[in-house]
Structure 1
Amino acid sequence: MTANEHGTGAGFVVVTTTHETEDQARALASAAVRERLAACAQVYPVRSVYWWEGEVQDAEEWRIDLKTTAGLADRLGAFLAERHTYETPEVIAVPVVAGSPGYLAWVTAETVAP
């Protein structure tokens, strides 16, 4: 599996965030895709265990994985943070190291260049 003409996934990221309800997660995912900051978003339930305000928290959340170009990662991150209801939302980008050329070409075609 290769990602682009260079044989790597360089230039692509998966940006992840979470939300407390499915409706909020789906709305945020739809907004990011509608703005063409991501080509695709997947929303699914997760169980999160984390430190918050001096205590271990255990909560059901809804994870959003957004596929985009590395050049859009900062804009997408700012977009998510601006619209998020959490005081300190998770917004992380993980580089894609490999992928099918057709899929990555589609991601490029469906996102706006920075």
Structure 2
Amino acid sequence: MTAGSNEEAEYLAKTLVLEGLAACVNVFSGVRSYYVWEGRAEEGAEVVLVAKTTKAIFPKLKARVLELHTYDCPCILALDVSDGHGPFMEWVVSQVAG
């Protein structure tokens, strides 16, 4: 995901973790984004968030981000993980399984 400010990114990250929708969210500030929006070339500072969750929980995470996000069309992507460190993967599942 991306957010327009550090404050919004931190709010999203904390909310997703505290609500059990993500086991962890990494926040990367200082990102420059270049894109075309509504026919105009745009650029600006953004903050990238990487939320660790499960495929089963992702629809709830996405719905919650859509409720909270200030963008009209937030970038929310699900990336399939083909492999990972077993104990970490198990920890993610335990954190979002409720």
TM-score under structure 1 length normalisation: 0.82
Structure with larger RCO (C-alpha < 8 A, sep 6+): 1
Whole-Å separation in 2 of the counterparts to 1:61 and 1:105:
31
Q: What residue identity is the alignment partner of 2:60?
A: R
Could you list the structure 1 runs, at least 4 aligned residues long, displaced by more than 6 angstroms after superposition: none
Paired amino acid for 2:20: R
Give the letter for the 1:105 counterpart: E
**What is the root-mean-square deviation of aligned Cα atoms in Å?**
0.9
Q: Number of residues paired by the alignment?
A: 97
- Higher strand residue share: 1
Match of residue 23 from structure 1: 7
Q: Which runs of 5+ in 2 are unaligned?
A: none
1:12 matched residue in structure 2:
none
Whole-Å separation in 1 of the counterparts to 2:32 and 2:84 = 28
| Residue aligning to 1:14 | none
Aligned ranges for residues 1-114 of structure 1 at < 5 Å?
A: 17-45=1-29, 46-112=31-97
Q: Please, which runs of 5 or more residues in structure 1 have no aligned partner?
A: 1-16
CA deviation after TM superposition for structure 1 residue 112, in Å: 2.7
Task: Measure, in 2, the Cα distance between the counterparts of 1:40 and 1:25.
Answer: 13
Return the TM-score normalized by structure 2.
0.95
Show CA shifts across 1:56-80 (max 9, x none).
Answer: 1111100111000100111100100
